[in-house]
Structure 1
Amino acid sequence: MAKRKILITGGAGFIGSNLIDELISNTEYEIVCVDNFDDYYPAEIKMSNLEGALQSGRVHLIREDICRLGARKELDGVEMIVHLAAKAGVRPSIQNPGEYVRVNVLGTQNLLELAREMEVKHFVFGSSSSVYGVNPNYPWVESDNVLQPISPYAATKISGELLGSVYAN
């Protein structure tokens, strides 16, 4: 029987690599990790994050920009996509908003379209607390208004949430 397969974008980052480690420890999933090794922090740290996972033999690493990721043999049989990849950082998004829109909005749309084409039934999107802006109500809840972002980064994460909703419905 073939192992179940999951695609994790941003898998070399802190959250993604910890998720991969947890899946290796507690499931039988075959894991496809997609990461572009963006320079937000050093590539050496990201490779170190994946070192044990790659040695397991259950993780296939694809170094690719999520905007360019398309159907390929390594993705055959993927049942779930966990999308954690993003251009991170509130302050840098103010200096370079176009790159944040490219990666966080167009990249997310590309993955949603890929999921649709591959008939992937489960898509998990990693958003950000930045979507809540300067909301004085704390703790925040998912039903809070998120239509007043205070940075391009937050706006791109809200856009990703909205795109996910469109594709889900």
Structure 2
Amino acid sequence: MRILVTGGAGFIGSHLVEQLLAGGYEVLILDDFNDFYDPKIKHGNIAGFAKEVTVHHVDLRDSESVRNLFHREKVDTIAHLAARAGVRPSIQEPRLYYDTNVTGTL
């Protein structure tokens, strides 16, 4: 089974990916590696299994790229964990957070 984990390079997502790989699943990661915290941390989160997964550096707000990814990769299931985090930044940039966390989900 092919599982796409959105936000798969984040803290929670990377732990889910690790468990899915241990369970024998084929895993793909979609993550935009945004700079809410240092992207090097996200790369570090997936370093231990990076060769076992396909990583797509895609922003959920780019609906055409997301749609193309779905058609190209033929995933069976999606674990949607991608989101912009942080209350204070969401107040400062509400549109960015809405576009990512709401529209990006749809």
Could you tell me the TM-score, scaled by structure 2's length?
0.90
1:53 to 40, 49, 56: 49
Task: Determine if contact 1:32/1:74 at 8 Å carries over to the other structure.
Answer: no
- Residue in structure 1 matched with residue 8 of structure 2 by the alignment: 11
User: 2: CA distance between counterparts of 1:79 and 1:12?
Assistant: 20
Percentage identity across paired residues of the two chains? 44
Structure possessing the higher radius of gyration over alpha carbons: 1
The Cα offsets for residues 41-91 of structure 1, whole Å up to 9 and x where unpaired, read as 111110010011113x2x100000012211335521x11111110111111
RMSD between aligned alpha carbons?
A: 1.2
Query: Shift of residue 22 of structure 1?
Result: 1.1
- Residue in structure 1 matched with residue 73 of structure 2 by the alignment: 75
Higher RCO (C-alpha under 8 Å, 6+ residues apart): 2
The correspondence of residues 120-131 of structure 1 with structure 2, limited to 5 A, is none
Could you tell me the TM-score, scaled by structure 1's length?
0.58
**Within the alignment, does 1:100 sit opposite 2:94 as a pair?**
no
Between Structure 1 and Structure 2, how many residues are aligned? 102
